[in-house]
Structure 1
Amino acid sequence: MTERDRNAGKIPEEGDRVAMKGLARYRLLAATLVVLLAGLSVLAAGCPRRAPEEDPGAEVTAGGIMIRGSIADAQTMNPIYVADTASGDITHHLFQNSLMAWNREVELVPNAAESFPEVSADELIYTFRLRPGQTWHDGQPFTSHDVVFTYESFMNPFYTGPRRADMAMFLGYKAYVGELAAAKRALDAKEIDQEAHDRRVTEAFEAWRALGAVRALDDLTVRFILETPMAIFLTRTAGYHIIPRHILGEVHGRDVKDHGFSRNPVGSGPFRWKEWLPDQHIALVGNADWEGGRDGKPPAHSDELVTRVIPDQKTLEIALEAKEIDFGGVTPEEYERFKAMPHLRLMSTPTFAYTYLGLNLANPLFQDVRVRHAISHAINKEVMVDELLMGHGTVAWTHGSPARWDYNPDVRTFPFDAARAKSLLAEAGWTPGADGILQRDGVRFSFLLQTNLGNRMREQAAVVIQSNLKDVGIEVEIKLVEWATFVSDVLLAKNFETVIVGWSLGVDPDAFSIWHTEGGPFNFVSYSNARVDELLEEGRRVGDIDRRREIYQEMQAILAEDQPYVFLFYPNAIHAVGNRIRGEIKVSPIASPLFYAEDLWIPAALQAGPHLN
């Protein structure tokens, strides 16, 4: 164990001038998660899997190309704009430079910071000291000025990404965001033109910056000043990847998203950028100069990490079977067949994810809660788990995950009951028309259901929903949309009636950006509930674990009652890994087999890629 390993896991001493009460909250949370996830790791390990064949002299060797299959291409390589799993999977390997991070034991540890921060007694001032000697992939030093630039980028008035709300604890945030909203109202009312609007919000931004909410005290020290104590500051806000000021610092805020950096990034993690051929592959190369991030890990062992875009699940599985890729997901229906393949190891593990049918609450069809309850009763979720997931998952009744510490198992449920669904629809004024489709005031109960092309599980769930709802008099048309278009033109644009999609949640249960009325673009369905807003705000502030559990369990109960989504199922993740891959592969709800790709390696005799033996 290195000195950094020991420091990463230790509780700061009194002499560190840390408010122990505040940090104890995070340590308790980490301890809770360690106990929980230890059990889940056992469950994952207990699933049938094959060990790789032993190689003569199988010692750790550098070289080779590891190949992953992905059904979706990435959207951006700028981590402050990442809003999809495909992009996040890549940027994770390129950056790994957040101030704080969760390690493989699900402990909150310093990452780019050399230790836990110094925290003032009132828990409003956090001072981080960065590890010296960190560099960007172009050789420029990684400094506190990069940290300040990143967090100021989230606050820039021209930032259009999804994470500004996670800065809500910063000094001056509320007044600043209020001024942005006022300027937008004035522009919409044509009281000012675009030029005056831009000048007004820029002046507001500069006034906020002058408050010093985020400030570099020297090249390796950064200070944050909060307006109110906030539990998620260390567990979430301090966990975002940092972007390089020396590349983007002179770029206007409105141009950062589409800057060349988003397609040709410079990171600081265990893998460097090589190339991106859209809809074909993204290639990274091992960074031999990396001195280690979390846990003081060594540089990447493989020469390259390639993500092949294979937009159809069946085609991806064929590539796994043909040894064309090393890593990929397998559908539950293929689990037993792939388990028998000698060149693969299979792992089925619970996740922090769920799949749902999202109902656009701006659409009058879905504004009556009785209708939402009816739709939920009409859909046979048990059949989805038994026949689509083949038992690799459980029925979902609310937001969250049974694998996470805040989960509420006692919320209201809506078991399959077509008769009850019909009764509720009748109460809401819907009656059968001549063709059997329900109608009210001359409007047919018919809607479009969209989901992403190539995700077989979601495509099959759409067919089940279409059949179930037809039985109660609701007409559903299914449309499959290419992933990039689905994210940008359907979800983020809120351009849908219903969608099937899913959430992969984090360790911390904060869900402000998903459910709060002012949460931002991730509130796809335009949900608004005053009590949920209060709970989300309190949950961000409170540090006591037991109280936070109460808060989020009450929120889950309200969501189950309101049914802004029809919650469908909590799927297990089924991972397939080729047996030429060596090293510790530890999966958990927060870590896929490639999460620590820098720890994996390929024996010299098997480094034939990219065309695998």
Structure 2
Amino acid sequence: MKLPASLAALLMLALVGLPTPADAASKERLVIGISQFPSTLHPSFDSMLAKSYVAGLARRPITAYDPDWNLTCLLCTGLPTYEDGTVTDETAEDGAPGMAVTYSLKPGMVWGDGTPITTADVAFAWRVGHDRETGFDAYELYRRIDRVEVHDDRRFTLHINKRTCDFQGLSDLNLLPAHIERPIFESGAPGDYRQRTAYQTDPTNPALWYGPYRVKDIVTGQRIVLERNPNWWGESPYFDEIVVRTIENTAALTANLRSGDIDMIAGELGIAIDQALAFEESFGEDFQILYNPGLFYEHLDVIQDHPALKERPVRQALIQAIDRQAISDRLFGGKQPVANSNVNPLDSVYYADLPKYAYDPEAAAAKLEEAGWTIGPDGVRTKNGERLSFTLMTTAGNKSREQVQQVLQAQWDAIGADVAIRNEPPRVFFEQTVSKRRFDGVALFAWLSAPESIPRTTLHSDQIPSEENSFIGQNYTGYANPEMDRILEGLETECAPETQARLWRELQTLYATDLPAIPLYFRANSYLLPKNLEGLTPTGHQFPSTLWVEEWRLAE
């Protein structure tokens, strides 16, 4: 269609006024686009990648895996070892084999208001997390610590009631500013702390932050503005201000990048690989585009309370009915390999000979027939009066996941399953529906992990969230198998290399057989960056690139 001359002239004027990618980012302000908004900024509630990404700019964990996949200290002076005496075996308070692990905080660290970070903040954080009613995500860690022994302002010892193999890492013990949060915590019941914390009521308080940046302004659901932290003790960050904008519709994310309203799209939480490939084909010359495979596992959590889905043959039939290779090839250009378990082949503990499911809808239908699920007059299978009917949910606005949903719905319909699609905004989906086990069927989302990470919180039966346990744990499916519990506990405590290898084989074999979740594919993240941005290194694991934001800068 040809435009009228006057309209064409106006359009040309509008286009001239748009910033070009080359001049969009500046030292004064970098605007990052992500696809989800954090449900909370408190470090110990709601394990969301959106929160981790923002927190990487304004906080630091005590330990983390770096971009080279090495465990390193960010707030401590060195990892504890038996060799240097900072780790010793002892008998726990309950008489079980325990251990004492000593850390020293780096000198000179302060909160954003200038208050020194001390062992008092460590001890207070443990006190809050150790109270079961508080409902911290990593409650298992806090439960295992019987007490925190404070030696001075910088050195502390954790007395742990279980002798484990992964004692060096301490990323889940999130520091809390005792001078701010202690009076808040003590002013009411622990179960209400989540609503009363300053991270919820006063998130721009500088005292809550201690990274290169601190939170300056928040518009819920839209953006978080972070400014340089004048009390940051590390290398000075390059950008004066960083804005993290949430645009839940992933197609709109790329449109905002083209218009210059955002400068980059975060690889950790931006657009899927298919959208990135299409964007690169049209606009690749104007941007720096990186593709990074990693420990990101796209899967379907299958609720075990459902009368049909609780049956293992049904879950096995559902995975056989999905053409996962075609999904990878057609939607993601083959860049996201099919997942056969929850462990990525990039991880050193991956077991290649685990059970695998090829696409075979006829075998899937036969498996359902054998399990007593027969086709009814409306084409939906039934058994003992129950229909093979359930909901399929994911994060609204994620174009790629919505496309995958359509494929799943069609392929499951072909074997006699009645599937209804219902999606929610990410904040509602993760904070309410998933974490409180309110989905009635299957939930599509991603897990991410650190190398050799033991999946206790997602697979052990004592990690099933409920109202009785203040919704602690991330075993959202409700999966409970004593054999899996045994394997997980062995991985934590039996440290001989040959034993570890055997247990990892057993875990992946049992996972692929039981299918508490249906593995789809391992994600490759796509980073759409300004051409002149340097220093951003994708990590490929749960610790985001923002933890090293002080290394980012624009080339001269």
Q: TM-score, normalised by structure 2?
A: 0.85
C-alpha distance in structure 1 between counterparts of 2:443 and 2:67, whole Å: 33
Q: Indicate if the aligned counterparts of 2:303 and 2:442 stay in contact, CA closer than 8 A.
A: yes
Over residues 420-467 of structure 1, what are the superposed CA-to-partner deviations in whole Å (9 max), with x where a residue is unaligned? 011011011111111211122232221111111011221111111100
1:264 corresponds in structure 2 to: 204
Q: CA deviation at 1:593?
A: 5.1
Instruction: Return the alpha-carbon distance in structure 2 between the equivalents of residues 240 and 482 of structure 1.
Output: 29
Mapped contact 2:328–2:334 kept (Cα < 8 A): yes
Superimposed CA distance per residue, residues 506-530 of structure 1 (whole angstroms, 9 cap, x where no aligned partner): 2342111000000243101000111
Q: Find the aligned partners of 1:277 and 1:311 in 2 and give their Cα distance.
A: 14
Gaps of 5+ in 1: 1-51, 56-60, 172-212, 293-297, 605-613
> C-alpha displacement at 1:116, in angstroms?
3.1
Structure 1 residue 350: Cα displacement: 1.0
What SS does the aligned partner of 2:328 have?
Answer: helix
**1:120: how far off?**
4.1
Distance 1:337 1:443 in 2: 43
Q: C-alpha distance in 2, partners of 1:555/1:158?
A: 31
- Name the residue aligned to 1:450: 393
Aligned residue-pair number? 499
Which residue identity lines up with residue 338 of structure 1 in the other structure? F
Question: Is residue 2:221 matched to residue 1:286?
Answer: no
Gaps of 5+ in 2: 1-19, 91-98, 464-471
Alignment pair present for 1:162 and 2:137: yes
- Report the Cα distance in structure 2 between the residues aligned to 1:82 and 1:142, rounded to whole angstroms: 24
2:72 partner SS: strand
RMSD of aligned Cα (Å): 2.2
Name the CA distance, whole Å, in 1 between partners of 2:286 and 2:460. Answer: 46
Shift of 1:153: 1.6
Q: Do residues 339 (structure 1) and 286 (structure 2) align?
A: no
Paired position in structure 1 for 2:56 = 92
How far did residue 558 of structure 1 move? 0.2
**Following TM superposition, by how much is the alpha carbon of 1:317 offset from its aligned partner in structure 2, in angstroms?**
1.1
Work out which of the residue numbers 447, 464, 467 in structure 2 matches 1:503.
447
Q: What residue in structure 2 maps to residue 83 of structure 1?
A: 47
SS at match of 2:123: helix
Structure-2 change in CA distance of 1:555 and 1:461 (3 Å) = same
- Alpha-carbon contact 1:169-1:229 (below 8 Å) kept: no
Distance 1:603 1:218, change over 3 A: same
Corresponding position of 2:5:
none
CA contact (8 A) 1:288 1:299 kept: no
Q: Cα offset for 1:226?
A: 1.8
1:215-234 correspondence to structure 2 within 5 Å: 215-234=149-168
Q: How far does residue 166 in structure 1 lie from its aligned partner after superposition?
A: 2.3
Distance of 1:107 and 1:165 partners within structure 2? 24
For 1:62 and 1:414, how far apart are their aligned partners in 2?
49
SS in 2 for 1:361: coil
Aligned to 2:144, what secondary structure does the other structure show?
Answer: coil
SS at match of 2:79: coil
Mapped pair 1:64 → 2:28: yes
User: 2-side partners of 1:136 and 1:81: how far apart?
Assistant: 20
CA distance in 2, matches of 1:592, 1:132: 24
Which of 318, 326, 329 is 1:383 aligned to? 326
1:585 equivalent to 2:536? Answer yes
Question: With structure 1 as the length reference, what TM-score do the two structures score?
Answer: 0.77
Distance 1:344 1:556 in 2: 39
Aligned to 1:516: 460
Q: 1:538 aligns with which of 478, 483, 490?
A: 490
Q: Which residue of 2 aligns with 1:314?
A: 251
The correspondence for 2:184, drawn from 224, 227, 251, is: 251
Question: Which stretches of structure 1, 4 residues or more, deviate above 6 A after TM superposition?
Answer: 52-55
Other-structure match for 1:550:
502
112, 124, 129: which one pairs with 1:137? 112
Distance 1:233 1:217 in 2: 20
In terms of mean alpha carbon deviation, does 592-601 or 144-153 score higher? Answer: 592-601
Deviations 1:547-601 (A, max 9, x none): 32332231111010001111111121111111242x2232231365544222112
Structure 1 residues 256 and 400, CA, compared in 2 at 3 Å: closer, same or farther?
same
Spell out, residue by residue over 1:477-505, the C-alpha distance to the aligned partner (whole angstroms, 9 max, x if none): 10111111111221012111211111011
Q: Deviations over 1:57-108 (max 9, x none)?
A: xxxx993211111111111111111411111111122111x33232333222
Which residue number corresponds to residue 370 of structure 1? Answer: 313
C-alpha change, 1:78 and 1:336, in structure 2 (3 Å) is: closer
Distance 1:425 1:417 in 2: 13
Contact 1:408 1:553 in 2 (8 A): yes
Q: Which residue of 1 aligns with 2:219?
A: 277
2:241 aligned with 1:304, yes or no? yes
Matched, 1:240 2:183: no
Residues in 2 aligned to 1:397 and 1:587: alpha-carbon distance in whole angstroms: 24
Alignment CA distance shift 1:538-1:168 (3 Å): farther
Residue 101 of structure 1 aligns with which residue? 64
Q: Is the 8 A contact 1:216 1:222 kept in 2?
A: yes
Query: Percent identity between the aligned chains?
Result: 22
Give 1:53 shift: 11
Task: Give the equivalent residue in structure 2 for 1:6.
Answer: none
